[in-house]
Amino acid sequence: MTDTITPQTAQRFYDWLGAKHDLGSRFERQAKDRGLELLDAGSAQQFLNVGVGTGKEQRTVQAALPPGGQSFGIDLSREMLDLTRQRVPETNLCQANAEQLPFANGRFDRLLCTYVLDLLGTAVLPQVLAEFHRVLQPGGKLVLVSLTEGTDAPSKLLIGLWKTAYKLHPLTCGGCRPLQLQTLVQQARFSILKREVVVQLGVPSEVILAER
């Protein structure tokens, strides 16, 4: 039993959504840019993006990597993986579930996950964060960007409406609901280095930088 959409529904929905997903950029761009800035791909050697989507962030990451650096991405949706492959042919991609990452312990020094945890079931979030902890090396950095609770009157109003729409039909909201991840990230044995809320066009996003 899940309190969100199932992985099967997410896969079908994002296969259908494909490139249309980029229309959401106008609400998410600033938070994603801040997350990328905090993660500093320019000094990464092994970079993993969980839930790569259409590949826009992966293109930025790949372009910033130093010589010898490698980028990897996973997603449940084949359509999303195809779109990322077209945008970033140099990146290493595979179809996988964030709940069970197909990588060895300590494989990465950076991990990015934007607008994915907010569509996963509450019960699986600790397992997913444990996977992020497992595949990062000691000192490795994690950035999470997710829809969150409002911080001012317009964003609180918008999130109130969002929750109502989500209750009626989660897919009208892309399957995403607001989260506050700080406690779960600490329980997963990460140290939080920064937490910010970025509001773009009334949509609040939590940006967390943490270290393993």
Contacts with ligand SAM, residue ranges (CB under 6 A): 7, 10, 14, 32, 51, 53, 74-77, 80, 97-98, 114-116, 119-120, 174
In the complex, what is the shortest distance from the CB of residue 84 to ligand SAM, in angstroms, rounded to a whole number?
A: 9
In the complex, what is the shortest distance from the CB of residue 179 to ligand SAM, in angstroms, rounded to a whole number?
A: 13
In the complex, what is the shortest distance from the CB of residue 67 to ligand SAM, in angstroms, rounded to a whole number?
A: 26
In the complex, what is the shortest distance from the CB of residue 58 to ligand SAM, in angstroms, rounded to a whole number?
A: 9
* Cβ contact 60:41 at 8 Å: yes
In the complex, what is the shortest distance from the CB of residue 208 to ligand SAM, in angstroms, rounded to a whole number?
A: 14
Nearer to ligand SAM, 65 or 112 (CB): 112
CA gap 60, 56 in Å, rounded:
7
Q: What is the largest CA-CA distance in the chain?
A: 49
* Cβ contact 142:136 at 8 Å: yes
Nearer to ligand SAM, 14 or 72 (CB): 14
Nearer to ligand SAM, 4 or 46 (CB): 4
- Residue 145's contacts (CB-CB under 8 Å, 6 or more residues apart) are 28, 31, 32, 34, 35, 113, 114, 115, 205, 206, 207, 208
In the complex, what is the shortest distance from the CB of residue 32 to ligand SAM, in angstroms, rounded to a whole number?
A: 6
Nearer to ligand SAM, 68 or 184 (CB): 184
Cα 14 to Cα 9, 17, 30, 143, 144: the distances in Å are 8, 5, 22, 22, 20
Give which of 148, 154, 158, 212 is closest to 185, Cα–Cα.
212
Nearer to ligand SAM, 50 or 65 (CB): 50
CA gap 78, 211 in Å, rounded:
30
Nearer to ligand SAM, 94 or 152 (CB): 94
* Cβ contact 9:175 at 8 Å: yes
